[in-house]
Amino acid sequence: MRLIISEKPSAAKKIAEALGGYRTVKSGKSYYYEVSEDLIVAPAVGHLYGLEPSVEGWDYPIFEVEWKKASRRKGFEFAKDYIKNLEVLGKKADEIIIATDYDREGGVIGFNILKFAAKMRHPEKALRMKFSTLTKNELKKAYENAHVHNQFEVGLALSGLTRHYLDWYWGINLSRALVHAIKRTGQFKVLSTGRVQGPALKILVDREREIKKFSSSFYYSLSALIEGTYEAKDGEFNDIKKALEVFTKAKGPAKVVDIEKNKRELLPRPPFNLTDLQTEASRVYKITPKETLDLAQKLYEAGVISYPRTSNHDLPKELDTNAILQALAYFIPQAPTLLNRKAAKGKKTDPAHPAIYPTGEKHGDSDLRQRKIYELISRRFVASFADSAIREATRISLDLNGVTFVMEGQKTVKEGFTKIYPLGLKETEIPTTKVGDTLSVDYIQLNREQKSPPKRFTEAGLLKQMEKVNLGTKATRADIIQRLYTRGYIEGKSIKVRPLGENVVSALEDVVPNMLSVKLTRQFEERMEQIQDGKEKMEAVLEDGKKELMKILKEFKQKEAEVGKKLVSGGVEATPSKFASKTVKTTLKPKVLFGACPGCGKAVGQVISRNDKRYAACTSCDKTWGLPQRGTLTLTKNNCPKPKCKFKKIQIKRKDTQFTLCIEHGFN
């Protein structure tokens, strides 16, 4: 039996339909599609496995992590039956074909299903379907050409797995470090940062500082109303005396002394990649980058556009663009006039997927925002085949009693592709005239103006900046920006950093600047791309990631109290910590003293909180450690083997298992 595994139920249904029809088989709260006795299409529901710590507690550093079923987490219980389906079908299958999205995340989803559900020791030996649209013809072709994972496809998956591990290492350790720093002040607040989140926030804070430092100085300018309609301007003056001198001298009529005309060609834009689509959707429709991606994903699943998570500007060579142009004629009448042409080329490429393009199938959904994104993609696609536009700029120099004023105008003299895909170009009219003509002057005005500070980033602007400095990926950047909003670090469409975000950055950059390093993050992004290309090993990148993080965490541990004070003094609102409260019950009996505190050297013993949770706490300072909450805890006679560690190991006995660990170093 052949088993095809898709990323989502909607994709599984499309694949089954393309391969000749199906019978739906229900299994608990999930289902799969039986195309024939020998061919089954079974869906996942995104990531069915996620990384979780394999040791309990809240201390750091922690690198003990393992993949667990997503159904264990609250809100993801629905995944249980989908996992069970794949476990049962995976055992029966003679051959498995992975048909998840053809990118890093799709590779991770596929590899984890093969490894944990189907129990394949070598996931790379499974077959792979490659497709960029969910159209019948392309899916059928992808099935017929299913092949053993090639180097690039294995690289995609390994690169994605590396990202998951690194993001988990950075996220959990740096976030725990911040919480511990706050607790050192006797207070408590959950804060978070991460490998990409921290540097992204730093970019925004730096812009806020530019705005605050900006000197909003005044300057003076002259303007004149010509022929009752047109505006002419003189230069800028920092000195009011000079401005007044010129102002009193200038008077009409205005004599035309020079006319300059300049034509420039506007080349048609290439079809969208994801970042460009998100930027344009924000400009034209004020739709956020994250919502744009969500809408585009729905359009892809409906089969009306190609896969949206791409960096590419180029269309596939084998694509029948004439058929698509003909199909789009019902709402873009110029489309059929552009047959047998080549689309405009862009700068970005992506070996996994082509640029985003409409498939030619009609968009039948009544959702207005989906339709807006669909039409934006379609118009950009059609416009990429059209002629260039021509813009003409005219500059007229006027003499007003020895003072030179200038009128400037711009107009489109050939619409070209802009008739299909408007760019929002401004048309500025000026009079038709020639050198030597005299024009009437209605009035001359002296203006006092103020220089504007740098603009705050919009979500689309931040997205572009993150792409420019190689922070995150095309698929994750919008989510990272949304996370900054959710954490309360930023607010507004024109992004303003809230005091909490500024305080977190200020505290960290003074003490552990590498926690916010764009350069360090970019280096690992580049190395993950090398894994994708087969030029780096996943294990080497992860090992180096741990080493870099350990340097940061070691430095942070030494300055934990200092960071905590900076956070609190900077205005981070926290609540009194239960560990510093006098009402906490403690049981510091000799048999549960774990050893000497690495910070102050005093005894560390067991603490029972108000809600009867057990922790380890120093009897002198505010430092605490997490303890396993289940099982009987016994102090052993064995010291932790880590150098300079002064803790005894503890033993935890449960009905089903028993293990030993150090409260500082875990299972070491």
pLDDT digits (tens, 9 = 90+) for 460-491: 999 999 999 999 988 899 999 999 999 899 99
> Mapped to the 3 state alphabet, what secondary structure does 224-271 carry?
EEECCCEEEEEEEECCHHHHHHHHHHCCCCEEEEEEEEEEEEECCCCC
pLDDT at position 597 is 84
Residue 182, domain member (yes or no): yes
- Res. 575: pLDDT tops 70: no
**Is 607 found in the same domain as 519?**
no
482 and 560 share one domain: yes
Please indicate whether residue 138 or residue 609 has the higher confidence score (pLDDT): 138
In a domain, 667, yes or no: no
**b/e map 98-132, b = 16+ CB within 10 Å:** bbbbbbbbbbbbbbbbbebbbebeebbebbbbbbb
Cα 183 from Cα 609, distance rounded (Å): 15
pLDDT value of residue 363: 83
- In-domain check, residue 61: yes
Q: Rounded to whole angstroms, how far apart are CA atoms 258 and 407?
A: 11
From 450, 473, 502, give the residue that closes a domain. Answer: 450
SS (H, E, C) 575-625: EECCCCCCCCEECCCHHHEEEECCCCCCEEEEEECCCCCEEEEECCCCCEE
Number of folded domains that form the chain: 5
Mean pLDDT of 102-109: 96
My answer on whether 144 and 8 are in the same domain is yes
The average pLDDT across 571-584 equals 52
Task: Give the pLDDT score at 615.
Answer: 79
Q: Examine the fold and report which residue of 401, 421, 450 is the final residue of a domain before the chain moves on.
A: 450
pLDDT at position 573 is: 65
Catalytic residues: 307
Predicted pLDDT at 622: 64
Helix (H, G, I), strand (E, B), or coil: what is residue 661? strand
Is 158 a member of any domain? Answer: no
Average pLDDT on 331-346 reads 96
- CA distances 170 to 165, 189, 521, Å, are 9, 19, 11
Tell which residue, 272, 309, 303, 250, has the closest CA to residue 17.
Answer: 303
CATH number at residue 27: 3.40.50.140
Average pLDDT over residues 164-176: 94
pLDDT at 586 over 80: no
Same domain, 341 and 430: no
pLDDT reported for residue 185: 84
CATH number of the domain bearing residue 560? 1.10.460.10
In this structure, the answer to whether residues 593 and 655 fall within a common structural domain is yes
- Indicate if 293 and 222 belong to the same structural domain: no
Give the pair of three-digit tokens for residue 168. Answer: 């988990």
157, part of any domain: no
The mean-pLDDT minimum among 87-101, 135-149, 219-233, 606-620 falls in 606-620
**Domain at 289, CATH number:** 1.10.290.10
CATH label of the domain that carries residue 260: 2.70.20.10
Report the chain's mean pLDDT, rounded to a whole number: 91
Q: What is the pLDDT of residue 610?
A: 52
Q: What's the pLDDT at 580?
A: 44
Residue 426 located in a structural domain: yes
Residues 90 and 129 in one domain: yes
Claim to verify: residue 650 and residue 588 sit in the same structural domain: yes
Average pLDDT over residues 55-67: 88
In the predicted structure, residue 240 carries a pLDDT above the cut 90? yes
Percent over 70 (pLDDT), the chain: 95
**Could you give the CA distance from residue 458 to residue 462 in angstroms, rounded to a whole number?**
6
Is the pLDDT assigned to residue 566 strictly greater than 70?
A: yes
pTM of the model: 0.83
Domain that holds residue 598: 578-661
603-650: pLDDT as tens digits: 888 877 655 667 788 877 667 787 887 788 888 888 888 888 888 888
**For residue 52, pLDDT beyond 50:** yes
For 567, list phi and psi in degrees, rounded to 5. Answer: -65, -45
Residue 257 has pLDDT above 90, yes or no: yes
Could you tell me the CA-to-CA distances from 665 to 156, 228, 625, 642 in Å, in that order?
A: 33, 80, 10, 8
Does residue 375 form part of some domain? Answer: yes
Share of the chain above pLDDT 90, in %: 74
Shared domain for 287 and 332, answered yes or no, is yes
Alpha helical stretches, state H, 365-496: 368-383, 459-468, 477-486
| Interatomic CA distance for residues 180 and 61, integer angstroms | 12
Both 594 and 553 in a single domain? Answer: no
Does the pLDDT value for residue 584 go beyond 50? no
Residue 275 has pLDDT above 90, yes or no: yes
d(CA 9, CA 445): 67
Running DSSP on this structure, what letter comes out for residue 94?
Answer: S
d(CA 159, CA 524): 11
pLDDT band at 579 (very low <50, low <70, confident <90, very high): very low
Between residues 568 and 372, which one has the greater pLDDT? 372
pLDDT in tens, 364-409: 766 899 999 999 999 999 999 999 999 999 999 999 999 999 999 9
Specify whether 20 is located in the same domain as 138. yes
Tell me the residue type at 504.
Answer: V
653 bridge partner residues: 632, 658
Question: Which of these, 126, 145, 146, 143, lies nearest to 20 by C-alpha position?
Answer: 143
Domain boundary among 383, 416, 435: 383
The alpha carbon torsion through 519, 525, 528, 530 (nearest 10 deg) reads: -70
pLDDT-derived band at 663, boundaries 50, 70, 90: confident
Segment among 49-53, 70-74, 118-122 with least mean pLDDT: 70-74
Residues 246 and 186 in one domain: no
> What is the reported pLDDT for 588?
41
Q: Quote the CA–CA distance of 61 and 555 in Å, as a whole number.
A: 12
Residue type, 489: Y
Question: Is 645 within a domain?
Answer: yes
Average pLDDT over residues 308-331: 96
